[in-house]
Structure 1
Amino acid sequence: MAPVDPHSYTDSTHPFTTHISLSLYLDFATSTIHGSALLSLSSPHSGPLHLDTRSLTISSVLDPTTLLPLPFSLSPTPNPILGSLLSVSLSSHSSVLILFSTSPSSSALQWLSPSQTSSLVHPFVYTQCQSIHARSIFPCHDTPAARVRFAALLNIPRALSAVMAASHVSRRDPNPGESNLSDALWCAPDRVVEQFAMEQPIPPYLFAFAVGEIGFRDLGPRTRVYAEGGKKVLDAAEREFAGVEEMVRVGERLFGPYDWERFDLLVLPPSFPYGGMENPRMVFLTPTVIKGDATGAQVVAHELAHSWTGNLITNKTNEDFWLNEGFTTYAERRIVEVVQGEERAALNMGIGWRGLNRMMERFKDNMEFTKLKPNMADVDPDDVYSEVPYEKGFQFLWRIERQIGRPAFDEFLKTYIATFKFQSIDTETFLDFLKTNLPGIENQVDLRTWVEGTGIPPDAMEPISAIYTKIRSLSLDFKLGKMPREDEVADWHGQEWELYLENLPDSVDPLQIAALDARYRLAESRDWEVKVAFLQVAVSSGCKEYFGEVERTLKQVGRMKYLRPLYTALVQGSAREEEKMLARRIFMEARDSYHPIAQGVVESILSKHS
């Protein structure tokens, strides 16, 4: 066996899957999917074919032409990171048909009861497949090295609707014999089929759908926002993301043609574990990015930038994750600079710089994960997910831009995207391309230190701007006991407050914290970035009066960007047993409202500090 990826059973000597036809029957009563997957291979293959699965029941594996069974085995003891190896014996086959069912504990799926939705009437389900969770929905080569086209039939209750990161083909009644599943099940009169197709090859982690009571508003000729939360959420989302069509045009001017036809957005329930997920044609978003002042569109700018850096060109393995996120963070800030101005982009960079420095503290006992290309064998990507690939990757590209100048770097970037579009590459391929297209760059920038070195390289650069310098100065004054005056913060938005709070020490006088909040009501902020940044400082400073607000926050949202720092602040270091017990109780009561990925992250935090 010659693995292509430390996080996949995929064998590099076997042909990759190039197309998957899925028929999925969504059973809300049991929180399971019954499905069939027709996998087409790049070439005929004889011998074992290795596929990734997690918590799947495989009912049969068939020759798609004859429907005769094919021998297969499923490893009896799942690997805690990889899941179970499905090995199918082929004899000059170029395709294989697999019938399967998911588990209610599928790590990619969150099933929400009606009481957990905004409507309180209908259930809801959505997927989150990054980094290695597609294997818990269907058997596949679950590695970003494999790019796949999809066709999908989603059989759902007639009262619901489905959206997918793909082109919508039709909504129609089920047809007998189209699914390889029982016609009695498939063709029930209260069911409907939503049909989709993804014609561009994508890595499996970008497979995405959602089903529930979903409305929408058009934002432009190729942009639309969908939402689960009804008219109130749609109205707010429409205002927040009104400029998305212009963002797409800016992206095209900077990085080349937009190759995905549409750029639609889906605002998910508050349990969604990320700020956004860049699924092509259908970006998934947390409702916490709706801030009321259009600054939430910066998350959209990041997911849009992935349309070129990440979706068009993909990291070959999770060890090369910076190729996705470092490039995308750079591209996001270029878009923000055009659309919202240089000062706003500088604030974005400043928050990122603080985040990168925090990661040095987080990984101080295992600096391997401060490398751009870490060794991730036997490491769950979710456990070490951090800002390092985003911000250190950004700093690396910004360092190259400063060396050669922006015009030259822009030309390099466009050439890079055009050369590798619809491909998955590794760090070594990028470095070779860099040295070929920018001769002598290795003598001007220490590439080895940037890629292989731990920590922050000495030629990384803290951003410089008038507003950034002013906020840093005011944070320093607070450390000395001086609160910012109202006239100094009169024009601040969420990002300014976030940066200010990020620059405060972890522990300050509780009376100062209470006085700051009494004047500016930060614990009640509608901007979740501000609220959580303030609560993190308050908990670290021992302000017990804010524990109630911390509990309410942890029970309202499931975004890991908020869960991780708040749970960590409650249990880390010199935290009292009272605070640790509070964290454990909150998690026990809120656990079922979190996505499975978020559940695992919080369990890891509580276990580490038990």
Structure 2
Amino acid sequence: STSKVLQSYMTREVTTETEIGQSRFTKLVPDLQGIDPDDAFSSVPYEKGFNLLYSVQQKVGDEEFEKFVKDYINTWKSKLITSLQFKDFVMNYSAHFKKKLQDFDWDRWFYAEGMPADKPKFDTTLSKLANDFAHRWTTAGAGEIKPTSEVGKEMRAAWNSWTSQQRQYMLDQILENSEKQKMPIAVLQDMDAVYEISITNNAEVRFRWCTLCLRSGADFIVQNAVSMVTSQGRMKFTRPLYRELQRSEARGARDAAVRTFLKNVNFYHPICRKMVAQDLKVKQNNKQGWSWLGVSAVTISAYLVWAVWRIRSRKCPIPFVH
């Protein structure tokens, strides 16, 4: 189930990079000649890299792969390694590896855009029910599934028993469907009544829920999304949510995106700040950004000079203390 969640997340991330004209950054080894590496930052290398490793594991077998991982860590700890060095290490690890991976298409994994050509197969046992419920939600009409109905109770009981990954997976399937057809706002309200998702503190679930509702233009989710982008600064959540706010048809969402970002601009890591500003087409005012630091430096310098004078005059350097 965890693997299915990761693959779903990767699919969405690759789609997002393509939508904003950055499909070249969906390669595992992108060409960064003349490009600021910060501009290429995304979750693609993490999730696509995971799929590559899992493909290798499936081909060589779990036991052999576990031995390899231990030797890899012992060999390369405290060192840097390039993609080509990693490939050579894998292919030359043992005769078994070389035989099982002789047809492994490293070039397509490394240099092709988008999803990998040979997706690894995952065990879908734990994701089946989540997938079934996702389908029921995407085909339901307003008022069909209520918290007090038998199906509503069944869905809530399953939700309560699921891991976070299973919940994420169900929402991922609904999100995938929403790219073709928006979820009716009334059905989203039914979902919220059954699961009470709007009050969750799970960042992964909350992020997906906010994204899903913003895509449908649900007014009720705007404040929740704003709260999320201002209560944490992880770029995997913050950047996509700002994009969703900006293009959402929910009332006040577009204005809230720019207004919220400008108000909280110094809250974010410089890379995150730069990327969100780029997405929202907001220019950073460097003069204003440096003005406070300049005033602070002058103030501190003046205080130090004054404190030295007080010490030389045998007075306490802290004002109003005698």
Of the candidates 271, 278, 281, which is equivalent to residue 597 of structure 1? 271
Question: What CA distance in whole angstroms lies between the structure 2 residues aligned with 1:561 and 1:394?
Answer: 16
Q: 1:496 is matched with which residue?
A: 166
Contact kept, 8 Å, 1:370 with 1:455, in 2: the verdict is: yes
Alpha carbons of structure 1 residues 547 and 366: separation in structure 2 relative to 1, 3 Å? closer
Aligned amino acid, residue 103 of structure 2: Q
Question: What CA distance in whole angstroms lies between the structure 2 residues aligned with 1:563 and 1:459?
Answer: 31
Q: 1:456 is matched with which residue?
A: 115
Aligned amino acid, residue 133 of structure 2: L
Of the candidates 472, 476, 480, which is equivalent to residue 139 of structure 2? 480
TM (norm. structure 1) is 0.40
Deviations 1:559-583 (A, max 9, x none): 22221221111123x7579532221
Aligned amino acid, residue 275 of structure 2: V
Question: What CA distance in whole angstroms lies between the structure 1 residues aligned with 2:111 and 2:104?
Answer: 13
Q: 1:466 is matched with which residue?
A: 125
Q: 2:57 is matched with which residue?
A: 401
Deviations 1:275-306 (A, max 9, x none): xxxxxxxxxxxxxxxxxxxxxxxxxxxxxxxx
Q: 2:70 is matched with which residue?
A: 414
Deviations 1:528-550 (A, max 9, x none): 22222111111110001221222
2:80 is paired with a residue whose SS is strand
Alpha carbons of structure 1 residues 494 and 428: separation in structure 2 relative to 1, 3 Å? closer
Contact kept, 8 Å, 2:59 with 2:101, in 1: the verdict is: no
Quick check: 1:510 aligned with 2:180? no
Question: What CA distance in whole angstroms lies between the structure 2 residues aligned with 1:592 and 1:363?
Answer: 25
Q: 1:478 deviation in Å?
A: 0.9
Contact kept, 8 Å, 2:91 with 2:98, in 1: the verdict is: yes
Question: What CA distance in whole angstroms lies between the structure 2 residues aligned with 1:416 and 1:593?
Answer: 38
Alpha carbons of structure 1 residues 498 and 442: separation in structure 2 relative to 1, 3 Å? closer
Quick check: 1:585 aligned with 2:241? no
Q: 1:372 deviation in Å?
A: 1.2
Deviations 1:372-402 (A, max 9, x none): 1111123233322222211111111111111
Contact kept, 8 Å, 2:211 with 2:241, in 1: the verdict is: yes
Alpha carbons of structure 1 residues 576 and 532: separation in structure 2 relative to 1, 3 Å? closer
Q: 1:555 deviation in Å?
A: 2.4
Aligned amino acid, residue 480 of structure 1: T
Question: What CA distance in whole angstroms lies between the structure 1 residues aligned with 2:91 and 2:202?
Answer: 43
**Residue correspondence of structure 1 range 144-543 to structure 2 within 5 A:** 347-364=1-18, 365-437=21-93, 438-481=97-140, 483=145, 485-504=155-174, 505-506=177-178, 507-543=182-218
State which drifts further: 411-420 or 581-590. Answer: 411-420
Q: 1:444 deviation in Å?
A: 2.9
Question: What CA distance in whole angstroms lies between the structure 2 residues aligned with 1:458 and 1:596?
Answer: 35
Contact kept, 8 Å, 1:435 with 1:441, in 2: the verdict is: no
Q: Which structure features the higher share of helix residues?
A: 2
TM (norm. structure 2) is 0.74
In structure 2, the gaps of 5 or more residues are 146-151, 283-322
Alpha carbons of structure 1 residues 515 and 424: separation in structure 2 relative to 1, 3 Å? same
Aligned amino acid, residue 596 of structure 1: P
Count of matched residue positions in the alignment of Structure 1 and Structure 2: 261
1:424 is paired with a residue whose SS is coil
Q: 1:512 deviation in Å?
A: 0.7
Deviations 1:3-26 (A, max 9, x none): xxxxxxxxxxxxxxxxxxxxxxxx
Q: 2:223 is matched with which residue?
A: 548
| Identical aligned residues as a percent | 25
Of the candidates 231, 234, 239, which is equivalent to residue 564 of structure 1? 239
Contact kept, 8 Å, 1:353 with 1:462, in 2: the verdict is: no
Question: What CA distance in whole angstroms lies between the structure 1 residues aligned with 2:120 and 2:136?
Answer: 23
Question: What CA distance in whole angstroms lies between the structure 1 residues aligned with 2:251 and 2:138?
Answer: 28
Q: Which structure features the higher share of strand residues?
A: 1
Q: 1:462 deviation in Å?
A: 4.9
1:466 is paired with a residue whose SS is coil
Q: 1:523 deviation in Å?
A: 1.0
When the two chains are superposed, the root-mean-square deviation of aligned CA atoms in Å is 2.2
Segments of 4+ moved more than 6 angstroms? none
Question: What CA distance in whole angstroms lies between the structure 2 residues aligned with 1:442 and 1:461?
Answer: 14
Question: What CA distance in whole angstroms lies between the structure 1 residues aligned with 2:167 and 2:98?
Answer: 43
Contact kept, 8 Å, 1:510 with 1:538, in 2: the verdict is: yes
Q: 1:552 deviation in Å?
A: 2.3
Deviations 1:560-608 (A, max 9, x none): 2221221111123x75795322211111222233233322222122018
In structure 1, the gaps of 5 or more residues are 1-346
Alpha carbons of structure 1 residues 511 and 439: separation in structure 2 relative to 1, 3 Å? same
State which drifts further: 452-461 or 479-488. Answer: 479-488
**Whose radius of gyration is greater, 1 or 2?**
2
Contact kept, 8 Å, 1:403 with 1:444, in 2: the verdict is: no
Question: What CA distance in whole angstroms lies between the structure 1 residues aligned with 2:230 and 2:79?
Answer: 40
Contact kept, 8 Å, 2:28 with 2:49, in 1: the verdict is: yes
Higher RCO (CA-CA < 8 Å; seq separation 6+): 2
Question: What CA distance in whole angstroms lies between the structure 2 residues aligned with 1:594 and 1:421?
Answer: 31
Question: What CA distance in whole angstroms lies between the structure 2 residues aligned with 1:473 and 1:497?
Answer: 12
Question: What CA distance in whole angstroms lies between the structure 2 residues aligned with 1:517 and 1:579?
Answer: 20
Q: 1:442 deviation in Å?
A: 4.7
Aligned amino acid, residue 41 of structure 2: Y
Deviations 1:337-356 (A, max 9, x none): xxxxxxxxxx3222211111
